[in-house]
Structure 1
């Protein structure tokens, strides 16, 4: 009787967790789909990007602190914490994250939502490469194929590869086209998001290695707070000699800001918390499906609320990116059993 009750309680608990997983995955998909559109709509082109990043990091810090306090593990998480451990674990990844945020914000303002989301998924390539170089994590054969497919989707989106092959043309292979390399689309859109994607993979691998070096005992909310604090300190120091610092000194910190500027800052900060909740309740594999749904939602939103619509290249590139994410998430490498 007791065993039956225990099984029933376990089943109820699993069902509750599954409901939470679905709910948080839907939230992540919506945030992923709308974030580029919100940032492009409500972040003025002439705004000082460093002020946006500073406020974003501060809000993330406060949200992580709130979540840490609500979890009831604040005292345990802070046990043994030192400035030295903070510098060792968080500072270099934080510097990379700060650069990544600035590059991503530049791309947000100059790319449509669907193109941004597809190109942003090339961070899977950099994550795989950096995890292998930093941690020795290998990819399965199908995962390698999926990464190449993801690269192809990016090339198609940017019209570096034509879609004749996919449209049934007599051409047997896709052909290369020469883009206008000096256009703002490339210099202020594609280049920044590719840089941000590579930095994302590198900083993620370094963070994971540092956390494992500490025995895996560091609280994730505390680590988020450490990253935010380090990123803010690095960014503040950089303002001393940077053009953004001169702009702030001349025009003021809030120049170009409106009340609506806080909308994408808030949604981006909340998105960081949602990613952690999806990982907790759904796992990394199902998180990939949430991003796939978000990618398709971004295409639907772009078609409905903007005049840009969805081009053939974007449709094919987005579909290939979705398939590649699904392949990568569902085909992890098989660990070989050790022969004694």
Structure 2
């Protein structure tokens, strides 16, 4: 009888567990879709607005505007966490940013690098086919891994080392194929420079790897919330971005205005750049590392297919081989490390903290592109 009375409870538990598994499964697929869309759409949209005829917006102003929007968003979130108490909100910011100024100053280095990286990505996407940029930009996995081994003494599994070799080989094949001259016909504007774009994306990958690992190293000994950290990063990002704007486009912006060339499409790019990382950071709580690897791989495929229709990109056997190696390498790298069940290192540097915010902290510093 006792067993008979327990069976309904067990049945309810099984039903509840089944429903929860179904919800989690659906959330994972939704996460995958959002990651793919965000990864691919930003690259394609930047490429599209930068290749349209007519006056182009200043990329330096777009970088600054994205940082401003990101800081405002984080401030709103912090205010909500303080239950709308403006006094507590102000005291928290004052203590975190000014009282602990030495802690704040540590963020100057990664902020400088991220600002440089964001500007370089605009240069790279403006001068490279979207699919080529998407494939080559995966070199950031290699640079992040190497800096993590050197600076954080992390270890990689044999599969991860093999995946890094395949990644490098795949990118090399794509670049050799591009240098053959076949794809240069797809550069519809005489102002585009393939070599300039290639150098920009390589430097961007190096800066991304170093800044991500450096930021992780800082966060390991910090108790500040991810939102405070991003406000600190954003403050330096805005100041450094304005300095770069004045240095590069100061005279032109003084004449034409900060928002010169801004259209609804440009605003869409900026909002994607500013909020895309925040959105993905929240979504990725429901996605494991393997799913993120799938998302990156799918976004490369989506970017390539879309580039064929939008920009006349030509896909041949060599590009397919190189891109295939990169896609396979990304997936292999995201596989769990043997005997531990988790990766020793992820491209998003997600091991620097415990709890539900670990993935958030890994994504938020990067204002642009693939995770």
Q: TM-score with structure 1 length normalisation?
A: 0.81
Please state if 1:56 is matched with 2:61. Answer: no
Residue 147 (structure 1) aligns with: 164
Residue 123 (structure 1) aligns with: 140
Q: How many Å separate the matches in 2 of 1:7 and 1:200?
A: 45
1:175-194 superposed matches below 5 A: 185-194=193-202
Please state if 1:20 is matched with 2:27. Answer: yes
Greater relative CO (CA pairs within 8 A, separation 6+): 1
User: Structure 1: 5+ residue runs without aligned partners?
Assistant: 163-175
Q: How many Å separate the matches in 1 of 2:234 and 2:11?
A: 47
Alpha-carbon contact 2:127-2:194 (below 8 Å) kept: no
Q: How many Å separate the matches in 1 of 2:242 and 2:221?
A: 29
Alignment match of 1:81 (pick from 77, 89, 96) = 96
CA spacing shift, 1:207–1:38, aligned 2, 3 Å: same
Q: How many Å separate the matches in 1 of 2:338 and 2:84?
A: 36
| Post-superposition offset of 1:228 | 1.9
Residue 213 (structure 2) aligns with: 205
| Post-superposition offset of 1:239 | 4.3
Q: TM-score with structure 2 length normalisation?
A: 0.75
Residue 230 (structure 2) aligns with: 224
CA spacing shift, 1:289–1:17, aligned 2, 3 Å: same
CA spacing shift, 1:67–1:119, aligned 2, 3 Å: farther
> Helix, strand or coil: the match of 1:159?
helix
| Post-superposition offset of 1:273 | 1.5
Partner deviation per Cα, 1:212-267 (whole Å, 9 max, x = no partner)? 111xx433233233222221112223445x13223323432223333321121122
Partner deviation per Cα, 1:10-38 (whole Å, 9 max, x = no partner)? 55445434422321221110121222221
Alpha-carbon contact 1:138-1:333 (below 8 Å) kept: no
Please state if 1:281 is matched with 2:291. Answer: no
Please state if 1:268 is matched with 2:273. Answer: yes
Alignment match of 1:290 (pick from 295, 302, 317) = 295
User: Structure 2: 5+ residue runs without aligned partners?
Assistant: 1-5, 185-190, 342-371
1:25-174 superposed matches below 5 A: 25-43=32-50, 46-68=56-78, 78=92, 81-83=96-98, 84=101, 87-159=104-176
Alpha-carbon contact 1:64-1:221 (below 8 Å) kept: yes
Alpha-carbon contact 1:97-1:200 (below 8 Å) kept: yes
> Helix, strand or coil: the match of 1:205?
helix
Alpha-carbon contact 1:33-1:113 (below 8 Å) kept: no
Alpha-carbon contact 1:64-1:222 (below 8 Å) kept: yes
Q: How many Å separate the matches in 2 of 1:97 and 1:115?
A: 22
Q: How many Å separate the matches in 2 of 1:268 and 1:295?
A: 18
Q: How many Å separate the matches in 2 of 1:28 and 1:158?
A: 26
